[in-house]
Chains A and B, each alone.
Chain A
Amino acid sequence: VSFRRRLLLLFALTVLLSVATVTAIISTWTRRAFDHANDERTAAFVAQFHREFENHGEEVSRRIQSIAASADANRMLVAAAQRTPDYSPFLDTAQVIAETQRFDFLEFADDRGTIISSAQWPAKFGYNQPLVTQSPPNKPFLKEEELPSGPALGLFAIHSMTAVGRRLYIIGGIRLNKSFLATLEPPAGTSVMLYETLDSATFSPDHLISAVGAPGDADAQQLAPIIQQVQSNHREFGTVIRGSSGGQTVNAFPLTGENHQVLGVLLVASSRQIYAELRSQIGAAALLAASAGLILAILLSSWAATRVTRPVEELARAAHEVAAGNWNATVEVSTRDEIGELAESFNRMTRDLLDHSERLVQAERVAAWRELARRLAHELKNPLFPLQLTVENLLRAREQGQQQFDETFRESAATLLSEISNLKNIIGKFSDFSKMPQPHFQAVQLRELFEGVIKLHQAQLTKAGIHCHLEISTDSPIAADPELLHRALSNLILNAIEAMPQGGTLTLRASQRHDSVRIEISDSGSGLAPEESAQLFTPYYTSKPHGTGLGLAIVQSIVSDHGGRISVTSEPGRGTTFIIELSANRDKLPAAQRTHV
């Protein structure tokens, strides 16, 4: 990762972390403020509920008292005072009165607790009303009432009237239902529901009443754990329900009866939509700030990178050039800071390196000339000594007589011609090495090339008792100069023949590797020592008594001119293998031949 990117990442992270931290802090403050306001609103509403509960209770009580003053109530009291009371005329009396007085529940009972007339369950006449036989409450109370359709929750009041020693009880009530909840007028964004606990401990959505219609099953099921929490703990419980429009905060309050049992649960649900909108706005603002920060970070990082990384990049570029061989590469020094000093040092280093290199080249050149002179002197000195002896023999022979001179002259002339020929040969090799031609590329089939070289040296191989083995696994032609490649292979085969005076096996392999070919020439000779292998391709280096040390240098030169590489692997006693790796060089072929390669 470049310094520029690191710098950008650092800036971006800094900006994002800052924005995220500020956003989190603002969100937390907002949520706390909203929860606080919601708690206050819920508390106010619950207080309103209790006030309404008391008001409705007082209203129920007042209406019961008006019933007590009615003629029907008096007739019941008279009937109750009879020795054998006949309550049959009052079967529907409670229903009629309940209808006119807008009671959901109304029952008349005598002092033995016998129901005289029941509005909510007319068939219950004659049954016992336990409220009468126990101690009747003297203020409005919450009670679960049994109905034919199932139990229901109601706000009740009880009133008694006495005459001729008998007592008549009037128990009236209103149902805590949708209509009751509709009178509560909750604040905007708040809805109220009532769960009738009734006789079942299992949650049932049917027992959930809402002022604005029955909640859906899914919503009801979300409320179930809250209701069960209140039922089991008899205490208020509040939680947040996730959902659409930000969800809602639900606070549940137990509604208890005379015996402190939880008869119902009041549920106050406050919409969190406003909070959700606010949070959404904060999020949007944070996103905007983050985006702006990121842009700023990019700009700042670009500027900083320009200031810091450009000289560094210049240095890197210059270093790459130096590595590629251009020792003239320099860096422009525009600052006086650490980067400037570094650039100055680099320029100084390249200058020193260049000077040192030039000195090294000169030294190598001198050494090469010295070596060349030494080799020339050595090569020329060898034929010159026989020449000198031969000439001295001729001089001595002239002094000894004509016949002796003639014999000596004939022998010396042959020797002189032989040595002169040897000198010409030495000079020719040096000349060849200096005049190595550039390759003319054309399509070459390796198999044909190998077979041609083997055929040329077949007589020598046979004479030396060497078995030749060909392993060619590619038929694809390569682009090469066949004459130069033939010459290189010939040199290597001649080397191999010389390395196996006692005979052996010569193996020539060729194989295709991607876009190149690999040629191996192996002998089973005595092998080379590592130090011999290291200097094998050095010009004029030879381990042979009469070698010029130019054969393998010429091979390396040919391979190099083909864009290839030559190497050697050898171990003493295990033979030697020369490995040539050549590129297919298709781009160097004339267009007409390219399709055949």
Chain B
Amino acid sequence: MKRFSSILIVAASLACAAVANAATRPHYGGTLRVSVQASPQTIDPMALDSAGFRSLKQLVFETLVKLDDRGRLQPLLATSWQVEPGNQRWRFQIRNGVIFSDGVPVDASVAAASVRAANPEWKVFALGDLVMIETSSPVPNLAAELTLPRNSISRRSEGKLIGTGPFTVAQWDAAKQHLTLQANDQYWGGRPFVDSIEADFGKNDRDQLMLMDLGKSDLVEVAPEDIRRAQGGNRVVKTSQPAELLALVFTRNAQSDDEVHLRNALAISIDSAALNNVVFQAAGEPSGALLPNWLSGYAFVYPAGGGGATRPRVSHSVVWTFSCDTADPVARIAADRILLNARDVGITLQIVNSENADIRLAKLALPSADPETALSELARDFQLPVPTFSNSTISGLYSAESMLLQSHRVVPLIYLRGAVALRTNVHGFKLLPDGSWQLDNVWLSSETP
């Protein structure tokens, strides 16, 4: 009896091990359903997008190099790269055997044409299997810049953009805001696990969570203020590092020292902590810097707006027009809060629905996990002079960021975390620190009850 029992126990253990093995081993097949808040009009990689949509496009369009989850450069369509002293002449070795999804092989000349189109100020040309890039001034982070989606290698065929990624665009309906990606069987890195990805755009946070609860979506974006609410149930919530900047952006330079003082007074008046804790439900970090602390390492030296009772009133009243995304209720509450804080120090903000407002409340996704590249892209977005980096050290980065902040055109308020909610049958998903999604290794299991 004792022996029989032992046999039974061993058999049961083997069976359990087999079942567990079957649950953790990647499966091919299935359709991943994604919901995204953004409402894009194009899938052109040149367009700026939220982290979620940017990640979906990176499944179709690949760059020469990529950043891994620690921000380090990794080969992608280029197998290796070299830079000559002076950081003005770069060469990238093109990977052999890569083809576009329509079967056309990728060579150095096609890759050079794509990079040249995105960077007309660079001299880009093919030299055998090499893509050569020459710049008029030193660009120490040029390789990191090539990780940006706008530097994706693509070609246009019959009016459609074609990439080299693990998925191809099967259908794009801008009117219905629906995108179907099909697994690319010819992908040079091997076919992805899921057969297809169905993405619905323009869904607000509540709708996305509801679709997930109804089993109609496997992966949804979660707004920072909804992270606490989204947790629990039959879903997993993943959060990134603070990767979305909420900032006040002045549309023009300060015209006088007096205006500089007023802008400083406005920055000091805003209680970023209360804004983060209540409006955004503590989903971010108050920040006085353009780059998050996890990326730069020095953001703590820039104090965030303090609020509190010590805010002095300005010597004379001023009225500024102020715009925000009025369709976003949270942005509206944040704008109202800023308006109240500003009023406490004697600054009147009039909320208007106009692009010509004196100030706008901007929400920008961190453009890159590379700090120099991220800072340059943010400067572009804020229409500030693009910084130059004397070297790739932290002091060069700090100097560049300080110069941008001293323009008094931007008042950083909060860095918000990116978040997604997954159904429990979604595996292999990785949320990168900059909020990007890594979807190429996602596979679906049968859902556990």
Contact = CB atoms under 8 A, between A and B. Distances in A.
Contacts of B336: 121-124, 148
A86 B335 CA distance: 21
Nearest to B351: A148
A123 B351 contact: no
B340 to A, nearest CB: 6
Contact of B281 (A88, A122, A123, A124): A88
B278 interface: yes
Contacts of B334: 123
Nearest to A117: B278
B279 A91 contact: yes
B274 interface: yes
A125 B274 contact: yes
Interface in B341-389: 351
B333 A122 contact: yes
A125 B278 contact: yes
Contacts of B333: 91, 122-123
Interface string A116-129: 00000111111100
Contact of B340 (A86, A87, A91, A123): A123
A121 B277 CA distance: 17
Interface string B322-336: 000000000001111
B113 interface: no
B282 interface: yes
Contact of B279 (A86, A123, A127): A123
Interface in A45-94: 86-89, 91
Nearest to B335: A123
A531 to B, nearest CB: 110
A88 to B, nearest CB: 4
A91 B281 CA distance: 9
A127 B340 contact: yes
B339 interface: yes
B263 interface: no
Interface in B273-301: 274, 277-279, 281-282
A: contact size bracket: 10 to 19
A88 B340 contact: no
Nearest to B336: A123
Interface residues of B, number: 16
B282 A88 contact: yes
B337 interface: yes
A125 B274 CA distance: 9
A91 B224 CA distance: 14
A371 B210 CA distance: 150
A121 B351 CA distance: 14
A126 B274 contact: yes
Contacts of A88: 277-278, 281-282
A126 B278 contact: yes
Given A91-B333, A123-B333, A123-B334, A148 B339 contact: yes
Contacts of B277: 86, 88
Contacts of B279: 91, 123
Interface in A234-283: none
A487 to B, nearest CB: 114
A126 B281 CA distance: 14
A328 to B, nearest CB: 107
B232 to A, nearest CB: 14
A123 B337 contact: yes
A148 B342 CA distance: 13
A253 to B, nearest CB: 34
A590 to B, nearest CB: 103
A124 B341 CA distance: 10
Contacts of A91: 278-279, 281, 333
A84 to B, nearest CB: 11
Contacts of B281: 88-89, 91
A122 B94 CA distance: 55
Contacts of A124: 336, 340
Nearest to B278: A88
Given A88-B277, A91-B333, A148-B351, A123 B282 contact: no
Contacts of A123: 279, 333-337, 339-340
A91 B282 CA distance: 12
Interface in A533-586: none
Nearest to B337: A123
Interface in B164-189: none
B351 A87 contact: no
Interface string A97-138: 000000000000000000000000111111100000000000
Nearest to B282: A88
Interface string A136-152: 00000000000010000
A88 B271 CA distance: 14
A333 B277 CA distance: 123
Contacts of B335: 123
Interface in B390-410: none
Contacts of B271: 126
Contacts of A148: 336, 339, 351
A124 to B, nearest CB: 6
B339 A87 contact: no
A147 to B, nearest CB: 10
A130 to B, nearest CB: 15
Nearest to A87: B278
Contacts of A121: 336
A209 B281 CA distance: 39
A486 B333 CA distance: 125
Nearest to B271: A126
Contacts of A122: 333, 336
Interface in A183-220: none
Nearest to A91: B278
Q: Which 8 A-B pairs have the closest CB atoms?
A: A123-B336, A123-B337, A88-B278, A122-B333, A123-B333, A88-B277, A125-B278, A91-B278
26 contacts: A86-B277, A87-B278, A88-B281, A88-B282, A89-B228, A89-B281, A91-B278, A91-B279, A91-B281, A91-B333, A122-B333, A122-B336, A123-B279, A123-B333, A123-B334, A123-B336, A123-B339, A124-B336, A124-B340, A125-B274, A126-B271, A126-B278, A127-B340, A148-B336, A148-B339, A148-B351
Given A87-B278, A123-B333, 15 more contacts: A86-B277, A88-B278, A88-B281, A89-B228, A89-B281, A91-B281, A91-B333, A122-B336, A123-B279, A123-B335, A124-B340, A126-B278, A127-B340, A148-B339, A148-B351
